[in-house]
A and B are shown apart, each in its own frame.
Chain A
Amino acid sequence: MSLPLDLQILNSLAALLLLVSFAMLSQRRIVTLVNLLAFQGALLCAATLLLAWRTGANHLYVSAGLTLALKVIVLPWLLHRLIRRLDVYWDTEPLLNVAGTMLIGLLIVVFSFGLAQPISELASTATRSSIGIAVAVVLLAFFTMITRRKATSQVVGFLSMENGLFFGAMSATYGMPMIVEFGVALDVLVAMLVLGVFFFQIREQFDSLDLQHLEALKEDR
């Protein structure tokens, strides 16, 4: 039994998304990290377009447009500008070495597929097999955030998590209602602007974006 061509492409896109998440997990150069994020956004956009064409759902076209504008163009551009202006190109050694991170990442993927199993069984969408991948992308992004020290890398992890959530919504239900997607997109954009301001404040105060400086507020000061 072979799947129709468009589904095969969709599945490969999903697999690529997961691969990009792993690449992000090990990448220490922040510029590359942002490029990977943009690439992940592009994959998400392509998958949304393909699904929109397949199901004929108009709102998915809008959603793909939003993804393209925000995740592929605006946010990476903002991040690149921030990196240049703040002059942070490298993350310090992650809290865990690369081999260990990868091993834990593998376990996370297995766990995600287990978690997504009951949802996939109930889903009626053609893309239900990729729900597991979406959960894995979310959790891997979360793990990236935990293991990084630089504020910029944590933010990239955060945005990658958002990508995973969108992919999950798409695979399980062909996307959320329009009004919600617009709201979420607006929030993400505002969050980035707030962060931009915030980074400059951190920088002004500590002369670095290393989050190690932000560990003074312990319980007993």
Chain B
Amino acid sequence: MEFIALIGLPLVGALILAVIGENRRAPEINVAFSLTTFLAACALTARVIAEGNLLLIHKQIFIDAFNVFLVTLTAFVGLTTSLFSRPYMRVESEHRRIRPAQLRLYHSMYQLFMATMLIALTSNNMGLMWVAMEAATLSTVLLVTLYRTPASLEAGWKYFVLCGVGIAQALFGTILLYFAAEKILGAEGVSALLWTDLNSVKTQLEPAVLGLAFVFLLVGYGTKVGLAPLHNWLPDAHAEGPTPISAVLSGLLLNVALYAVIRCKVLVEGSLQSDLPGRMLMGFGLLSVVLAALFLWRQKDIKRLFAYSSIEHMGIMTFAFGMGGQVANFAALLHMTVHSLTKSAIFFAVGHAAQKAGSQLMDDIRGLITLSPTVGWGLLLGTVAILGIPPFGVFASEFLILTTAMREQPWATPILLFALGIAFAAIFGRVQPMVFGETTAKRLPHPPALIPVFTHLALVLMLGVFIPPSLAEWYRTAAQLIGGQ
């Protein structure tokens, strides 16, 4: 029941908004659907906590500690982003950057995008998960090109083609997985693609085939995670689309893609009986961290700056999942949570800041603290949090990852520290004058929505100081599920 509501509400929302999207109240309807979806996610979580893992609809849906926390996170950030997008999109339409018809597309696709991500997270069928991941790309392509500027069209095309090709690799990987599984589970029904069934026979799966499958799956879903060297689409798509979309792409879609990679890794590791998948994840992760940190220095556009920072953080998580083991997995899950909360909060603040300045170029954004203290503080605190300064949650997770790396993979620690240092200098050096510099810009017609920004930051702060025992327990169970080492 909770599950039907979870998937059904955004789908119905997409339909309704597609019909009445030009209505003046469309943003509020969007918020209402996001809110009810979030409530459904909470109900589902309560049920999983009470009853343990759930298998629904002929075993097509599987919910355990690992994905239910991502479901809640996704629904929560979906809700806050819809709150943020209400005044943001109003200002955009008053600035004549978008027409009412485009606003209808925007609201409808926003709900559809949420639905596809929730399906991808909860699907037990590896094939359906693929379908939902592709649908998530398709529902956002037209949102990236919403402004119809040459740059946004280019970004959309890049996004479509790169992720399309990437996801085709993942389909090949899924076919190989099915090929290996069908020998053991039989071709009757769809059992051979169900993750739970695959997981129970993973030690019998043919290692040679699964190894090959993992390469394709990692490259395929890795493209969507934004792992270097397949990250080219990410900064463009984040920078050129409307800011609420940047926030959900960065805070949610990347997580969902990483989730898919980890699900595959669990199977492949069980079959290979070696740490090869983990090593591959560590390699891609480190490469992304280092490349992103170096590229941060060359950015002039504020949204591109934080898009590269997302690549860096996805790299850190991938690296931690690659190390495997209880502590590293725990840290990676925590990092997933705090990164998506912090990064979306930053994008909210950045969105308002860019609207005030009328430009996304960092040189044009100045003096936020005098112009609009709340936006300025939001951006500053968000930046401080994402850079891993205590007492914010990012510090806790990065600290755990670094200390585990020192123990397990000492060679990687200096590389990580070096990259984190470079990123720190690059981002802080840019944000400081934006917040404190001199300015002449004037106020916005609609008051910015800052509740989402500060709610997110407060949560991140809380996670840095104190993780509620129930949540910690939840992370621990999930970390155990992922295993590794």
Residues of B282-331 at the interface with A, using a CB-CB cut-off of 8 Å, are 295, 298, 300-301
* B172 and A216 contacting across the interface, CB-CB below 8 Å: no
Partner of A172 from the list B125, B135, B168, B175 (CB cut-off 8 Å) is B175
Which of A6-14, A16-24, A90-98, A180-188 lines the interface with chain B? Answer: A180-188
The answer, yes or no, to whether B380 is at the interface (CB within 8 Å) is: no
The answer, yes or no, to whether B445 is at the interface (CB within 8 Å) is: no
List chain A residues, Cβ under 8 A from B161. 145, 154, 158
CB 8 Å contact bits of A184-210 with B (1 = contact, 0 = none):
101100110011011001101110000
List chain A residues, Cβ under 8 A from B125. 179-180
A31 to chain B, nearest CB (A): 22
List chain A residues, Cβ under 8 A from B135. 187, 190
Residues of A111-168 at the interface with B, using a CB-CB cut-off of 8 Å, are 115, 118-119, 122-124, 138, 142, 145, 151, 154, 158, 161-162, 165, 168
B86 to chain A, nearest CB (A): 26
Residue ID in chain B nearest A214 by CB atoms: B154
Given known A-B contacts A165-B168, A180-B131, A206-B150, A187 and B176 have beta carbons under 8 A apart:
no
The answer, yes or no, to whether A85 is at the interface (CB within 8 Å) is: no
How many B residues face the partner with a CB closer than 8 A? 50
Given known A-B contacts A217-B154, A220-B300, A186 and B131 have beta carbons under 8 A apart:
yes
* A173 and B151 contacting across the interface, CB-CB below 8 Å: no
CB 8 Å contact bits of B102-144 with A (1 = contact, 0 = none):
0000000000000000000000010110110011001001100
* B160 and A195 contacting across the interface, CB-CB below 8 Å: yes
* A194 and B141 contacting across the interface, CB-CB below 8 Å: yes
A177 to chain B, nearest CB (A): 4
The answer, yes or no, to whether B164 is at the interface (CB within 8 Å) is: yes
List chain B residues, Cβ under 8 A from A180. 125, 127-128, 130-131, 190, 193
The answer, yes or no, to whether B31 is at the interface (CB within 8 Å) is: no
Residues of A82-107 at the interface with B, using a CB-CB cut-off of 8 Å, are none
* A119 and B179 contacting across the interface, CB-CB below 8 Å: yes
The answer, yes or no, to whether B26 is at the interface (CB within 8 Å) is: no
A73 to B298, CA, bound (A): 48
A163 to chain B, nearest CB (A): 11
A212 to chain B, nearest CB (A): 11
A176 to B182, CA, bound (A): 10
* B142 and A197 contacting across the interface, CB-CB below 8 Å: yes
* B206 and A216 contacting across the interface, CB-CB below 8 Å: no
* B165 and A158 contacting across the interface, CB-CB below 8 Å: yes
The answer, yes or no, to whether B223 is at the interface (CB within 8 Å) is: no
The answer, yes or no, to whether A213 is at the interface (CB within 8 Å) is: yes
A151 to B160, CA, bound (A): 11
* A176 and B127 contacting across the interface, CB-CB below 8 Å: yes
Cross-chain pairs A/B with CB under 8 angstroms, 7 sampled: A122-B208, A165-B171, A169-B175, A177-B189, A183-B131, A190-B135, A194-B141
Give chain B's interface residues, CB within 8 Å of chain A.
Answer: 125, 127-128, 130-131, 134-135, 138, 141-142, 145, 148-151, 153-158, 160-161, 164-165, 168, 171-172, 174-176, 178-179, 182-183, 187, 189-190, 192-193, 206, 208-209, 212, 236, 240, 295, 298, 300-301
Give chain A's interface residues, CB within 8 Å of chain B.
Answer: 115, 118-119, 122-124, 138, 142, 145, 151, 154, 158, 161-162, 165, 168-169, 172-174, 176-180, 183-184, 186-187, 190-191, 194-195, 197-198, 201-202, 204-206, 211, 213-217, 219-221
